[in-house]
Amino acid sequence: MSSLAQKKGFGAVIWDYLTTVDHKKIAILYLISGGFFFLVGGLEAMMIRIQLMKAGNDFLSAGLYNEIITMHGTTMIFLAAMPLLLAFMNAVMPLQIGARDVAFPFLNSLGFWLFFFGGIFLNLSWFMGGAPDAGWTNYASLALASEGHGIDFYSLGLTISGFGTLIAGINFLVTIINMRAPGMTYMRMPLFTWTTFVASALILLAFPPLTIGLFFMVFDRLFGANFFAVNMGGNTIIWEHLFWIFGHPEVYILILPAFGIFSEIFAIFSRKRLFGYTALVFATILIGFYGFMVWAHHMFTVGLGPTANAVFALATMIIAVPTGIKIFNWLLTIWGGSISFTVPMVYAVAFIPSFVAGGVTGVMQAMAPLDYQLHDSYFIVAHFHYVIVGGVVLGILAGTHLYWPKMFGTMLSEKLGMITFWFFFIGFHLTFFIQHFLGLMGMPRRVYTFGADQGWDLFNMISSVGALFMAIGVLVLLVNVVLTTVKNVRVGNDPWGDGRTLEWAIPSPPPFYNFAQTPLVRGLDTYWIEKMEGNKEGMVYAEPLGDVHMPNGSIIPLIMSFGMFVAAFGALYFLDDTKPWALAVLIIGLGITFGSMLVRSLKDDLGFHITKEELIEDAKRGGNTDGLK
Amino acid sequence: MAHDTPEKIRSHAEHEYLKKKRSTEMRHQLTSFAIMIFLTLIAFTMVAAGFSAYLIVPIILLLAAVQVVLQLYHFMHLSNKGHGTVAFFMFSGMFVAFITVLALVTIVWW
Ligand code: HEM
Ligand SMILES: [Cu+2]
């Protein structure tokens, strides 16, 4: 188990990643697969914008258009944005709290593979008879009427990847509650850790309603139940409720970690302690609570009645308050700081006005009477892209630049980064700002074309050009990644020079055991405190150097998830008369999953120890071995 | 790890303190056990006495809530030190679930 640094062949590296339980490598897996799905979703977006480029276009047929918008939304939310955020949470949060790994490394890997196979399953629908076409919200009256198996790919795929996300959320909660280094009290946790914490709590509470909804959907469509079938005494509105009870917290699951990344960036590149740290923490918690009490604002036009609409309208407006608190705290953090406009900082500064614009339209939509005008128009499309692209995606891009050196040990080029930024930022506003007006002019959402006499031609054309700009920005980012990787200029612990939190006190990338000695935390911005006191090592230690206990890698999570993947095909074809083998496939798949669970439970795996001598030896070599064995 | 937990050697004072603490804990458990039996009796008697359902149902729900709290604090050790986070999560989870279910049920079926 020793020999820490060795050159290994390509096959060994692949095997290492397939079996890894190391949070830093799982982060890289999330980054790669999330990035891949981001490109897939982006391609779908480009096709939508090409179709809407001019009146009466026939680039896509109406049916295909429905499939593409559905897959675009579903892919972007569940398979791109969430995994990319989970990548940063995995890469950074354990380092920020001074932990050697997450609480359950095995589950961490299981969570990733479930997400991965769920995503692959969903996307296989393209090649196996057609993708889902009832929108990312999959409203039951549409979904139950949809022909073919598209919807089943949606519900089964999301069930599987949803389990993965739920596992990841629980894992982070336990990690943050139990594995903080000595001295790391709750009120000393970096803001990114805080937002990870609250977002994980939201995952824990929000995913079960979705799972229930999806279960009902699966049973209605594949096993002959009638939960949502109105003609059989079911209630189609209940799907909408279940979906949005999950759906609104979901948007906060996305935005809170992005808030966390921006909070880190503002403090680092203003070289100041975060203004109003306590207020930021409590605003985060408050948003977490409110997030659950507003779901019906997506259903104002369903006919819930004036009382329900009024209650949910008010509750929705209240959410803007803690969000506003955060905006002011960030502004006051920048105020009077010694600012350096690096790429992450530029993203963060651009985020503020973009996100505020999305918040303002949100409050407008929260007024139920007005929402009768806005609902299902392009105004809504503009709103949620302003919050999701202007908030979450800018956060992910900023985080990519900020944490790239910590994850890979190299710096992305600042120059190319700026090019990406300007293309993306200008393209983003070009695409979506004008959609507010398209919405007000009456252009409905989710309709595959429009007429030349409706006066929407020019604005749609501008919108499509904007999308092209964003695509160029993303391509430049890819070039940047390739060039940086090829050049391979290694960087030290604190490449930005102004790191404040623990992750910047250790090598980039960190050794696979993270901290040779558990650090002692003496206040908020731990690393900054040590730097200011002239501590060359950047840390004080809570324990003497000793043996470190590490978990073994395992292929079981991959096999377990693969079993679910196989079983999903069985369930999918269960009712088809032409496919009698479906039941067998279902049983085999579940057999693989439960069999590997059994192996996992019966086989003791006590992990291994890195001895003190090996740690000393490793430190002499610079300390950033990746533990390939 | 379970296999390297060191043996604890307690002083006399510590020992006495633990003993005292355990006996108070025991007393609390017995009292709450008695209360719980009593609450159950009330519930059964009410049903047997044939009061109106509009009276019985809310009272039984209330008694059930009291039972849950007693159970959590006296038998499942929620009152012990270091359970603050657990309690916070449980109660906020229950709160969120309660509000959600209540709102959902009233909107859909009222
Ligand atoms: C100030 C805070 C916010 C308010 C008051 C707000 C309000 C609303 C309302 C009322 C709707 C429903 C409009 C309709 O369909 O008629 C809506 C839709 C939406 N919002 Fe927001 N929102 C806020 C922040 C956010 C954030 C932070 C995100 C995501 C990061 C987000 C994502 C979405 C999405 C995805 C939809 C559309 C869902 C769909 O129909 O497909 N919102 N918002
Ligand atoms: Cu919402």
Domain boundaries, chain B: 1-63
Each residue of B25-35: pLDDT tens digit?
Answer: 888 888 888 99
Distances (CA, A) of A579 to A126, A160, A218, A472: 19, 23, 18, 45
A34 within some domain: yes
From A289, which residue of chain B is nearest by alpha-carbon distance?
B96
Q: B92, A289: Cβ pair inside 8 Å?
A: yes
Q: Which string of b and e fits B7-36 if b means at least 16 CB within 10 Å?
A: eeeeeeeeeeeeeeeeeeeeeeeeebeeeb
Task: Compute the distance between CA of residue A256 and CA of residue A250 in angstroms, rounded to an integer.
Answer: 10
- Contact of A412 with A400, CB cutoff 8 Å: yes
Q: Report, as an integer, the average pLDDT of A21-32.
A: 96
Residue with the two structure tokens 């095909």? A569
Q: B97, A205: Cβ pair inside 8 Å?
A: yes
A137 within some domain: yes
> In this predicted structure, what is the pLDDT of residue A506?
93
Q: B108, A292: Cβ pair inside 8 Å?
A: no
Is residue B4 pLDDT above 70, yes or no?
Answer: no
Which atom of ligand 1 lies at the shortest distance from residue A371's CA?
16
Q: To test ligand 1's pocket by mutation, which of A75, A259, A387, A445 has the most ligand atoms within 8 angstroms of CB?
A: A387
Dump strand ranges (E) for A479-601: 519-520, 540-541, 548-550
Cβ of residue B48 closer than 8 Å to a chain A Cβ:
no
Q: Counting Cβ atoms within 10 Å, is residue A151 exposed (0-12), middle (13-18) or buried (19+)? A: buried
> In this predicted structure, what is the pLDDT of residue A503?
94
From A200, which residue of chain B is nearest by alpha-carbon distance?
B89
DSSP type of residue A59:
S
Q: Provide the pLDDT confidence category of residue A624 given band limits of 50, 70 and 90.
A: low
Q: B108, A289: Cβ pair inside 8 Å?
A: no
Please report the DSSP string for A121-181 in residue order.
Answer: HHHHGGGTT----STTTT-HHHHHH--SSHHHHHHHHHHHHHHHHHHHHHHHHHHHHH-PP
Tally Cβ neighbours within 10 Å of residue A534. 6
Q: Provide the pLDDT confidence category of residue B1 given band limits of 50, 70 and 90.
A: very low
Share of chain A above pLDDT 90, in %: 86
Ligand nearest to the CA of A393: 1
Q: Provide the pLDDT confidence category of residue A625 given band limits of 50, 70 and 90.
A: low
- For the question of an ipTM over 0.95, the answer is no
Q: A241, B108: Cβ pair inside 8 Å?
A: yes
Is residue A80 pLDDT above 80, yes or no?
Answer: yes
Does the C-beta of A255 come closer than 6 Å to ligand 1? yes
Q: ∠ CA A395-A396-A400 to the nearest 5 degrees?
A: 115
| Separation of CA A365 and ligand 1 centre (Å) | 8
Tally Cβ neighbours within 10 Å of residue A348. 26
Please tell me which residue, A624 or A423, carries the higher pLDDT value: A423
Q: Counting Cβ atoms within 10 Å, is residue A590 exposed (0-12), middle (13-18) or buried (19+)? A: middle
Q: Which residues contact A433 (CB under 8 A, 6 or more apart)?
A: A382
Residue nearest to atom 37 of ligand 1 (CA): A384
Does the C-beta of A137 come closer than 6 Å to ligand 1? yes
Residue range of the domain that includes A441? 10-554+605-620
Tally Cβ neighbours within 10 Å of residue A36. 16
Is residue A4 pLDDT above 80, yes or no?
Answer: no
Q: Report, as an integer, the average pLDDT of A459-486.
A: 97
Q: Report, as an integer, the average pLDDT of A171-190.
A: 95
Task: Compute the distance between CA of residue A103 and CA of residue A288 in angstroms, rounded to an integer.
Answer: 23
> In this predicted structure, what is the pLDDT of residue A200?
96
Q: To test ligand 1's pocket by mutation, which of A244, A383, A436, A446 has the most ligand atoms within 8 angstroms of CB?
A: A383
- CA-based radius of gyration for chain A: 25
Give the mean pLDDT of chain A.
Answer: 93
> In this predicted structure, what is the pLDDT of residue A94?
96
C-alpha torsion sign, points A258, A423, A439, A370: positive
- Contact of A274 with A266, CB cutoff 8 Å: yes
Number of domains, chain A: 1
Is residue A589 pLDDT above 90, yes or no?
Answer: yes
Is residue B5 pLDDT above 70, yes or no?
Answer: no
Which atom of ligand 1 lies at the shortest distance from residue A392's CA?
30
> In this predicted structure, what is the pLDDT of residue B90?
86
Residue nearest to atom 27 of ligand 1 (CA): A387
Q: Provide the pLDDT confidence category of residue A7 given band limits of 50, 70 and 90.
A: low
Q: Provide the pLDDT confidence category of residue B14 given band limits of 50, 70 and 90.
A: confident
Q: A292, B104: Cβ pair inside 8 Å?
A: no
Q: Which of A115-129, A465-479, B23-37 has the lowest mean pLDDT?
A: B23-37
Give the mean pLDDT of chain B.
Answer: 83
Q: What are phi and psi of A519, to 5 degrees?
A: -75, 160
Is residue A5 pLDDT above 70, yes or no?
Answer: no
Q: Provide the pLDDT confidence category of residue A104 given band limits of 50, 70 and 90.
A: very high
Ligand nearest to the CA of A249: 2
- CA-based radius of gyration for chain B: 21
Does the C-beta of A323 come closer than 6 Å to ligand 1? yes
> In this predicted structure, what is the pLDDT of residue B50?
83
Please report the DSSP string for B9-68 in residue order.
Answer: ---HHHHHHHHHHHHHHHHHHHHHHHHHHHHHHHHHHHHHHT--HHHHHHHHHHHHHHHH
> In this predicted structure, what is the pLDDT of residue A2?
38
From B89, which residue of chain A is nearest by alpha-carbon distance?
A201
Residue with the two structure tokens 């009456």? A442
Joined together, the tokens standing for residue A372 give 């009768």
Is residue A628 pLDDT above 70, yes or no?
Answer: no
From A299, which residue of chain B is nearest by alpha-carbon distance?
B107
Q: B104, A293: Cβ pair inside 8 Å?
A: no
Joined together, the tokens standing for residue A501 give 């939190």
> In this predicted structure, what is the pLDDT of residue A626?
53
Instruction: Give chain A's contact residues with B (Cβ, < 8 Å).
Output: 173, 177, 201, 204-205, 209, 235, 237-238, 241, 245, 289, 292-293, 296, 304-305, 308, 549
Q: Report, as an integer, the average pLDDT of B80-86.
A: 78
> In this predicted structure, what is the pLDDT of residue A623?
64
Q: A292, B99: Cβ pair inside 8 Å?
A: yes
> In this predicted structure, what is the pLDDT of residue A3?
41
A628 within some domain: no
Is residue B6 pLDDT above 70, yes or no?
Answer: no
Q: Provide the pLDDT confidence category of residue B71 given band limits of 50, 70 and 90.
A: confident
Which residues of chain A neighbour B106 with C-beta distances below 8 Å? 308
- Contact of A623 with A516, CB cutoff 8 Å: yes
Q: Provide the pLDDT confidence category of residue B69 given band limits of 50, 70 and 90.
A: confident
Listed residues: CB within 5 A of ion ligand 2 = A 248
The domain that contains A401 carries what CATH number? 1.20.210.10
Each residue of A235-248: pLDDT tens digit?
Answer: 999 999 999 999 99
pTM value is 0.91
Q: Distance from A187 to chain B by nearest Cα, in Å?
A: 14
Does the C-beta of A219 come closer than 6 Å to ligand 1? no
Q: Report, as an integer, the average pLDDT of A462-481.
A: 97
